[in-house]
Amino acid sequence: MARMVSAAQNNGWLCGLADNLIIGDVVILQYMDDTIICFKGNLDMAENMKLLLYLNEMMSGLKINFGKNDIILIHGDEIKSLTYAEIFNCQIVMFPIKYLGLLSFLVS
């Protein structure tokens, strides 16, 4: 998964967060079986990320339970939140967040 995300990032299909602090912005953070995906608010990038997640499911044989995951918008509004929640079929949560035990999508 991390390699696919990195390739998508290198090809301009995804743009992560903290690009002003880190060379090559942050798109994916993983620890054990937990993942946080961070990307700038762009519907095309959200759809690209969803495609990568589906491809990962097909290649690994593992299934992502999107209903157990969360969308967290930074500087977002309610309409934007609903759009991303619909794309990823996830619930919307606000800060503070629980990290371990869930896949979170941070969208700026």
Q: What is the model's pLDDT at position 20?
A: 74
| 78-88 helix and 43-60 helix, angle to the nearest 10 degrees | 20
Q: Are 5 and 14 in contact (CB under 8 A)?
A: yes
In the chain, helix, strand, coil percent, each to 5?
A: 40, 20, 40
How many domains are there within the chain? 1
pLDDT digits over 76-104, tens only?
677 878 888 898 888 888 766 666 555 55
Reported as a pLDDT band with limits 50, 70 and 90, residue 54 is very high
Domain that holds residue 90: 2-107
Q: What is the mean pLDDT of residues 28-36?
A: 79
Q: What is the model's pLDDT at position 81?
A: 82
> Does residue 79 or residue 59 have the better pLDDT?
59
Q: What is the model's pLDDT at position 21?
A: 78
